[in-house]
Chains A and B, each alone.
Chain A
């Protein structure tokens, strides 16, 4: 699809819109539908669209596999570390009340952080799976 001018043009404009929508779903998840999982999936869809139109080589320049591996583990780590932090601060595991003076504020902070962790892991893992499927083609 590398020579399809219309597709390339539209993808260039569609990519930021999809990515922005993913960020909206991520950080507006407290108030509207959505959350980390949905946001991560939508973000990875934007990158997959990019890779399908511009090819895997330019995709790997943007997001090398090594970076994705690091991101995938970072997300889980952020989530678990939030739990450990609340433990160290004297609360229960993943009890966000303790994160701030006001319990409700603590809940907001905690939910925001763990949703971010979920989003990072989900989008990275989806792209890792996509890489694993598509890159095999270069060999056979």
Chain B
């Protein structure tokens, strides 16, 4: 009962924030609203018992990405979004049809936490039954990510590392040049 109430409240706040993001034209306000949106999502993840995801969403979505967008905004001169010149009718139609199709599709999805869902039937029973005995780690998520799927996680860390290198090459280039100049002096 309380879960349903919290779900409805959080989802209502999400919708309100989303509509506000569309309506507001001041980009500074939009960025702060995005941050609030992420925080509500983090709350939803906690309700769904996905504390790991909630951590990430709160720290990355509400924290780091907001700061990065604010830093980007500080670099630009115009802080107001321009009104689009064209009418929104055709895009709205496309969005409505796609949305309706997606909602229709959810009727085939197994309900939340359904033990007979395909996602739960494959390797999950094995992890739940055996991970404690095989790895001695009570947190099954950690056991799967770090041990059973350690190879995947290595790939993920490499992706993050590559992303850092990419950002450094694309927009961090002047940093190194600044250092060189200072050395010359």
Binding site for B on A (CB under 8 A): 25, 29-38, 41-42, 44-45, 48, 52, 65, 69, 72-73, 75-76, 79-80, 83, 93-94, 96, 103-105, 107-108, 110-111, 114-115, 117-118, 121-122, 124-126, 128-140
Contacts and interface: CB of A to CB of B under 8 A. Distances in A.
B64 interface: yes
A129 B68 contact: yes
B160 A122 contact: yes
Given A25-B55, A42-B59, A104-B134, 17 more contacts: A33-B141, A34-B55, A36-B146, A38-B59, A72-B161, A75-B157, A76-B157, A93-B151, A107-B147, A114-B146, A114-B154, A126-B64, A128-B168, A131-B175, A132-B168, A132-B175, A133-B72
A140 B137 contact: no
**On chain B, which size bracket covers the interface?**
35 or more
Contact of A107 (B136, B157, B175): B136
B56 interface: yes
Nearest to B161: A76
A130 B157 contact: no
Contacts of B55: 25, 33-34, 38, 41-42
Q: What DSSP secondary structure best describes chain B's contact surface?
A: helix
Contact of B153 (A25, A42, A114, A136): A114
A135 to B, nearest CB: 6
B158 interface: yes
B71 interface: yes
B154 A45 contact: no
23 contacts: A31-B138, A33-B52, A33-B141, A38-B55, A45-B64, A65-B175, A75-B161, A94-B150, A96-B150, A103-B134, A105-B136, A107-B136, A108-B135, A110-B146, A111-B147, A114-B153, A115-B146, A121-B161, A124-B164, A130-B68, A132-B167, A133-B68, A136-B75
